Amino acid sequence: MFLNTIKILTPENKAEDIFAYNGNALRGALRDCSARYLLNALGVKVKKQMFNILFSGGNISGSLTNDIDQAKKYRELLPMVSILGAGVGNQILQGKISQTFALPVCAETKNIIPEIDGINSELFEMSWRKMTGTISFNRTDDLKNANLGKYVDADEEKEKEPQQMRYEVEYYAAGTQLYHEMALADPTEIEIGALVAALYEFSSDPVLGGMSSKGFGLCDVDIYSCNGLAIKICGGGIDLSPEMVNAFEKYNEFLADKKDEIIAFIGGTPI
């Protein structure tokens, strides 16, 4: 398993393959976190179709049409769906968010990533290739363990396929930085609050990528707005600027006020 790469132009105007964390993966993580926060706040579960809309962005069935009333209802009652967009029935609900790839702060991206607060400028002197490594993992066949083999039926043991496996993964070194940009087109305060709620949910388990069970992916996050540091996620906690606190509170008030209407709209039933 190797890191995904894209081509960029380096400061020397050479095309180079460089690691990039897909913006769609970040979007997917936000979608999952926003859906969990919403359903936990409402205390409900939903049927598969609505589950797919909330967690996966839905899908399109049949010929495309534009149902303005339905789109307005989704934007009104499900702010995070309004931000991220979704395929709803037979129409596409356009999202309000645009995102870049998350690129490493390194020598190859020196002409792409701005030197702003929070960026370790010393990393601009190091190639991204020096920030990666590979590690091998083994999965042993416990049936071959004399102390454990006694717990399996002897006849069944003969039918078992070998479980021994060795595999290698490429990883990004701890302490490196990724830079990512996100823009929202004309969001409401409640929609901003829904985004903050998704990040609040993410802060309880702040990991990116796969194999977190093996020690990968733990991250800190600094999010800057035009007014400076707006959100900081570190050590399983989150700090919010006064502006973000206000938006978060407005979103929670919205969920409380509209709880019954939202539950009816998404077809929720008690967990």
pLDDT digits (tens, 9 = 90+) for 179-192: 999 999 999 999 99
Give residue-wise pLDDT tens across range 49-59: 999 999 999 87
pLDDT digits 0-9 by tens, 161-180: 666 778 788 898 999 999 99
> In the Cβ-directed half-sphere of 43, how many Cα atoms lie within 13 Å?
4
Residues 34 and 88 in one domain: yes
DSSP H helix total and E strand total for the chain: 8, 15
Q: Are residues 148 and 86 in the same domain?
A: no
The number of folded domains in the chain is 2
Residue 15 lies in a domain: no
Pair (95, 107) in one structural domain? no
Residue 2 lies in a domain: no
Angle, in degrees to the nearest 10, between helices 48-56 and 23-42: 130
Longest dimension (CA), the chain: 69
Do 96 and 125 share a domain, yes or no? no
In a domain, 233, yes or no: yes
**Same domain membership, residue 37 and residue 95:** yes
Give the H/E segment covering residue 215: none
Per-position DSSP letters for 21-83, written without gaps between them = B-HHHHHHHHHHHHHHHHHHHHTEE--HHHHHHHHH-B---SS----HHHHHHHHHH-HHHHH
In a domain, 133, yes or no: yes
pLDDT reported for residue 91:
83
Of the three residues 129, 145, 172, the one that is the final residue of a domain is 172
As a whole number of angstroms, the distance between CA 231 and CA 203 comes to: 10
Confidence (pTM): 0.88
Residue 57 placed within a domain: yes
- Over residues 11-31, the pLDDT tens digits come to 899 999 999 999 999 999 999
By C-alpha distance, which of 34, 177, 46 is closest to 97?
Answer: 34
Q: Are residues 97 and 185 in the same domain?
A: yes
On the question of pLDDT at 147 being above 80, the answer is: no
Q: Are residues 87 and 185 in the same domain?
A: yes
Q: What is the pLDDT of residue 155?
A: 65
Rounded average pLDDT over 195-222:
92
Residues 35 and 97 in one domain: yes
